[in-house]
Amino acid sequence: MSYKIKTGALLLGLLLLTTTWAYGETSPWELPGDLPLSSSPADSPAPSESAAPKPPQVAEPQEPAGALPLEAPAWTGPDLGIVALDAKGEVRYDLGGLQLSPYEIVSTPSHIFNFQVSKDLTAAEQLALIQSLPWLMDSSYLPQIFTTRLLLYVRPQGEGLEGTLYDLQRLETDKLQVPTQSAGSWEELLRLALERQPAPDTQVALNIESGLYHLPQADHLSLSEGRYRLLGLKVAKKQHYQPCSVCFPQENPYLKMSSSDRRLTEDGIAQVQSAYTLSQDRQAIERVQKVGAKVLAGSNYPTNFCEFIVLNSSEAQALSVHQGPIFITTGLLQLLESDDELAAVLAHELAHIILNHSRSNRTRGTITNVLGTVARYTVPNYWAYLGAGQAANLLNKGFSREQEYDADRTAVFLTLAAGYKPQEFCHTLQKLDLFQKEAGRGFTIPWFSTHPNSQQRIKAVQKLCSQLEPLQKEIDYIEGVGDRQLGAALRYLAPQYLRDPSPYREGLRAYRHLLLPPPGEKELEG
């Protein structure tokens, strides 16, 4: 009997091995299925080391197989362009008697620009574009606008000189200073610019399909040829690509959470799911997750910063748990007809998380209602387990009026950065207010009713949106001529624009006069 058992086990093992080999990397029952919407990284099963064969190891690999080099812009003009201002803010050309070689260095703004795209610019507009380089460096047309790879912008600073060196190829900026304005100081400033060494940068392998970047030597990279592109980590972050959590676990928001934050988040999730059931409406789930992902991208947070979960309830409700996820009911989704409206609600909840409002001893009144409903389902010692301080934090009466206004304001910026229309937030608030009034006394929309005075909120959001309209028009034009990279950068800069529009106005006006090549057959306006 013992011999038969051993023989049977051996045959079974050979059969399993043959089946695995026949099906390729994994056997059919080892393929990961869809994770439930309520799952968190802590709940997810750890991948088996034997689930799939690892790529063959190569001694000290420098790049993934099939990696393509990142194409650098071709700079055909001089290496360095110098633009210097005098004390009156006018361009100076003498540069303290410094002798320049016209074949290597130029000091005339008109020589720094590509004539084909800048011939309609005035001298003032040329200077405005140079002064706009802090944000203009995000333009995908940068190599077509300027001829020099390096640009040194010099201003007087007391008795000395202060220069800003722009590396238009590596998209880096350095500050340079010399104590006087003598010829020797100009030579020293020039030497510092030409001898500048770029800051060391980590090379990463960008998966051009997923948008995730990896360490080039990682052993979990796909074996597919041509899937990766090498670039610097700084550029990857600047262009809002996402880090791989295996290669960069320190960037994973869940792993960065403290144990108390993680416990509070997980307890909040459990309580919400005790009161509601998860929706099985695949269309609604996909819609919320698609819009939520874009809103997260607009927040400049990683896509795994928090989850967006649909609850099956006729209530018009949306709420966020400490550090995420964000929940929204099918009842509220029916009222939100456009993705712009949905983005506004999700952005408002995300703003509460980003602004860490739950840490200020105030939590949403909607959470209070949910927990009151759920209390009878919980174990008797739940509050003791949660801790008196955390329980009091959860059972408070909601966010303050100032916090709600802050969340509204942040939501406007988030929706704009994500590519949605922030004006739809006003429309959403107005629609919910009207719907609640028309429904009659005693009817409430939970998400809407727990917030401050609706008319005051609507006016505040309308004022903010009207202040952003000039910037939105410029972004529409910029993206219309195919410069989506610059348009996206300006969406992120909306808060700075509101604080002081002056650094942007002249540069944006000059940008419109550039003769940029239209994308495809589309003609430029004006």
- Classify residue 34 as exposed, middle or buried by CB count within 10 Å of its CB (0-12, 13-18, 19+): exposed
What pLDDT score does 356 carry? 80
Contact 82, 105 (CB under 8 A): yes
Which structural domain range is residue 286 located in?
257-452
Q: Which of 404, 433, 452 is the last residue of a domain?
A: 452
476 contacts: CB under 8 Å, gap ≥ 6: none
Confidence class of residue 211 from pLDDT cuts 50, 70 and 90?
confident
Do 331 and 355 have their domain in common? yes
Contact 113, 463 (CB under 8 A): no
Calculate the average pLDDT of the chain.
75
Q: Which residue has the higher pLDDT, 287 or 235?
A: 287
Residue 345 has pLDDT above 90, yes or no: yes
Q: Which residue has the higher pLDDT, 251 or 316?
A: 316
What pLDDT score does 97 carry? 74
Confidence class of residue 256 from pLDDT cuts 50, 70 and 90?
low
Do 365 and 385 have their domain in common? yes
- Max mean pLDDT range (52-56, 95-99, 145-149, 247-251): 145-149
- Rounded Cα distance between 194 and 268, Å, is 57
Q: For residue 175, is it within any domain?
A: yes
pTM exceeds 0.85, yes or no: no
Contact 205, 184 (CB under 8 A): no
End-to-end CA distance of the chain: 91
- Rounded Cα distance between 315 and 328, Å, is 10
Do 166 and 230 have their domain in common? no
Q: Which residue has the higher pLDDT, 75 or 65?
A: 75
Do 214 and 269 have their domain in common? no
Q: Which of 427, 452, 477 is the last residue of a domain?
A: 452
Q: Which residue has the higher pLDDT, 274 or 114?
A: 114
Q: For residue 279, is it within any domain?
A: yes
Q: For residue 1, is it within any domain?
A: no
Give me the percent of the chain exceeding a pLDDT of 70: 69
Percent of the chain as helix, strand, coil, to the nearest 5? 50, 15, 40
Q: Which of 394, 423, 452 is the last residue of a domain?
A: 452
Residue 60 has pLDDT above 60, yes or no: no
Tokens 């393929």 correspond to 31
Q: For residue 422, is it within any domain?
A: yes
CA-wise closest residue to 508 among 470, 480, 465: 470
pLDDT, one tens digit per residue, over 379-431 is: 333 333 333 334 334 333 457 788 888 999 999 999 999 999 999 998 888 88
pLDDT, one tens digit per residue, over 113-160 is: 999 999 999 999 999 999 999 999 999 899 899 999 899 999 999 999
Residue 367 has pLDDT above 50, yes or no: no
Q: For residue 177, is it within any domain?
A: yes
Q: Are strands 203-207 and 228-232 parallel, antiparallel or unpaired?
A: antiparallel
Tokens 């800048």 correspond to 118
Can you tell me whether residue 326 is helix, strand or coil? strand
C-beta atoms surrounding 396 within 10 Å:
17
Do 219 and 336 have their domain in common? no
- Max mean pLDDT range (69-78, 301-310, 356-365, 421-430): 421-430
Domain count for the chain: 3
- Rounded Cα distance between 165 and 26, Å, is 53
Q: For residue 208, is it within any domain?
A: yes
What pLDDT score does 272 carry? 72
Confidence class of residue 449 from pLDDT cuts 50, 70 and 90?
low
Give me the percent of the chain exceeding a pLDDT of 90: 36
What pLDDT score does 262 carry? 65
Mean pLDDT of 195-210: 83
Can you tell me whether residue 216 is helix, strand or coil? coil
Do 261 and 219 have their domain in common? no
Do 99 and 149 have their domain in common? yes
Do 390 and 282 have their domain in common? yes
Q: For residue 100, is it within any domain?
A: yes
CA-wise closest residue to 293 among 418, 479, 206: 418
Do 294 and 368 have their domain in common? yes
Do 297 and 440 have their domain in common? yes
Six-digit token string for 191: 């030497």
Q: Which residue has the higher pLDDT, 257 or 364?
A: 257
What pLDDT score does 378 carry? 35
What pLDDT score does 328 carry? 93
Mean pLDDT of 158-164: 93
- Rounded Cα distance between 351 and 453, Å, is 19
Do 355 and 283 have their domain in common? yes
Q: For residue 494, is it within any domain?
A: no
Q: Mean pLDDT check: name the lowest of 6-15, 203-212, 388-397, 482-491.
A: 388-397
Do 298 and 209 have their domain in common? no
Burial code of 472-505, b = ≥16 C-beta within 10 A, e = fewer?
A: bebbebbbebbbebbbbbbbbbbeebeeeeebbb
C-beta atoms surrounding 225 within 10 Å:
11
**Chain-centre distance of CA 416, in angstroms?**
12
